[in-house]
Amino acid sequence: MPDNKIDHIFKQKIEEISQLPENLLWDKENSWIRLKRKRRQKNLSKVYYYAAAVLIIGLLLGQIFNFNFKQKELKTSVENSFTESEKRQKLAEIEARMSGNYTSFKICYACDEIYYQVIKEDRPVQFRYFETN
Amino acid sequence: MIRIFRRKPNELTEKEIYNLFAEKMLVLCFRYLNNLMDAEEVLHNGFIKIFGNLKHFEEKHDNGFECWIRKIMVNESLMFLRKRTNFKLISIDSTHDDEMEPIDFKHGMETESYLKIINGLPVGYRTVFNLYAIEGYTHSEIANMLGITESTSRSQLTKARKILQQKIIKIESLYA
């Protein structure tokens, strides 16, 4: 039997079949209900996936913005403290000049305090500081 | 029924589409999977895809809607099969006629018998034969779909035809 004939016979016969063989039991209506249920579950899981994705993206963005905000805040505070230190340095300088016994100033940027050396009877005796607020 | 066919696919309700094609497509899936439960699962996956993409479907020729549905079902069946079967590992001589399930032909060659014969083939032969002879895909297309070489597709088809021919001759001789 030629190959084409086998293909043709089977194609023809298979295309005639629009129903399952009798020995195979299948309930169309129940299957429709199962299909609807499966579709609903798939849609629901899609919603969960989207929600999880949005949450993760939100958390990541939150972290990035929070980090940026903190960086900015720190920078501003440092800038402010520098300005404040400068102001304090000036004040301390004036005060020391008026008393006439200063030699040098030291600014602690970590604790934002200003120290200056006080000379009493030609020798340094102590460091004083101005507290920041 | 005629009224349903006259309407555009986009105008049909999901239930109407299901009623029209469900059983026919179940037979198609069954032909690939040889298991009713698996076939129904694939059928459901296929319909979910169809309903989801229905608004994007454009009918370019007559019977285009059914061809589209058929294509989706074939692809779904192949996806299901690929999860279970590595077509690359199927050897041409790995199965023999004797391993096939016996088919009871009480009334000679009925239409259903042809389905039984195809389903009796080993998975590789069955898939290639279904794709080539029934769906009309070329060997290069089948090779792409199954991730095998064209020569493997050809040899699987040859072997499938040989088994089918032997079966037909055997049955015909019984009822001659």
Range of the domain at B144: 88-176
B20 in the same domain as B74 = yes
B65 and B25 Cβ atoms separated by less than 8 Å: no
At residue B97, the pLDDT reads: 45
C-alpha span between B37 and A3 (Å, rounded):
32
B113 in the same domain as B77 = no
Enumerate the residues of chain A whose CB falls inside 8 A of the CB of residue B51. 39
C-alpha span between B115 and A29 (Å, rounded):
24
Give me the phi and psi of B69, to 5 degrees please: -60, -45
B143 in the same domain as B79 = no
Question: CB-CB: which of B19, B114, B129 is closest to A13?
Answer: B114
The pTM assigned to this predicted structure is 0.66
Last residue of a domain, one of B53, B84, B115: B84
Tens-binned pLDDT, residue by residue, of chain A (133 aa) = 677 777 888 888 887 777 777 777 888 899 999 999 999 999 899 899 999 999 999 999 988 877 666 666 655 555 555 566 666 666 666 566 556 555 555 555 566 555 555 555 555 555 555 544 4
When divided into structural domains, chain B yields a total of 2
C-alpha span between A82 and A88 (Å, rounded):
10
**Cβ pairs A/B, distance under 8 A:** 80
B59 in the same domain as B75 = yes
C-alpha span between B165 and B163 (Å, rounded):
5
Place of tokens 């993409």: B53
Last residue of a domain, one of B32, B52, B84: B84
Kindly provide the ipTM of the predicted complex, given to two decimals: 0.75
Helix pair B14-33, B64-84: axis angle to 10 deg: 40
A11 interface with B at CB cutoff 8 Å: yes
What is residue A127's three-state secondary structure?
A: strand
Enumerate the residues of chain B whose CB falls inside 8 A of the CB of residue A32. 15, 18, 22
C-alpha span between A131 and B70 (Å, rounded):
83
Tens-binned pLDDT, residue by residue, of chain B (176 aa) = 545 555 666 677 888 899 989 999 999 999 999 888 999 999 999 999 999 988 888 777 777 888 999 999 999 999 999 888 766 555 544 444 444 444 454 445 677 778 888 888 888 899 999 999 888 899 999 999 888 889 999 999 999 998 888 888 887 777 66
Sign of the alpha-carbon dihedral angle for B174, B92, A21, B74: negative
Name the minimum distance, in Å, from the CA of A42 to any CA of chain B.
9
Contact criterion met (CB < 8 Å) for A26 and B112: no
Phi-psi bin for B147: left (phi > 0), alpha (psi -120 to 50), beta? left
Last residue of a domain, one of B84, B110, B129: B84
Cα A58 to chain centroid distance, Å, stands at 8
B103 in the same domain as B67 = no
List Cα–Cα distances, A63 to A54, A56, A57, A59, A71, in angstroms: 14, 11, 10, 6, 12
B118 in the same domain as B75 = no
B43 in the same domain as B15 = yes
At A88-113, the pLDDT tens digits run 666 666 566 556 555 555 555 566 55
A98-120 per-residue burial string, b: 16 or more CB within 10 A, e: under 16: eeeebeeeebeeeebebbbbeee
B92 in the same domain as B48 = no
Place of tokens 């300005």: A83
B34 and B126 Cβ atoms separated by less than 8 Å: yes
B48 in the same domain as B132 = no
CA nearest neighbour of A26 among B23, B171, B113, B124 = B23
Contact criterion met (CB < 8 Å) for A6 and B23: no
Which helix (H) or strand (E) segment is A104 a member of?
strand A102-108
Enumerate the residues of chain B whose CB falls inside 8 A of the CB of residue A19. 23, 27
B31 in the same domain as B12 = yes
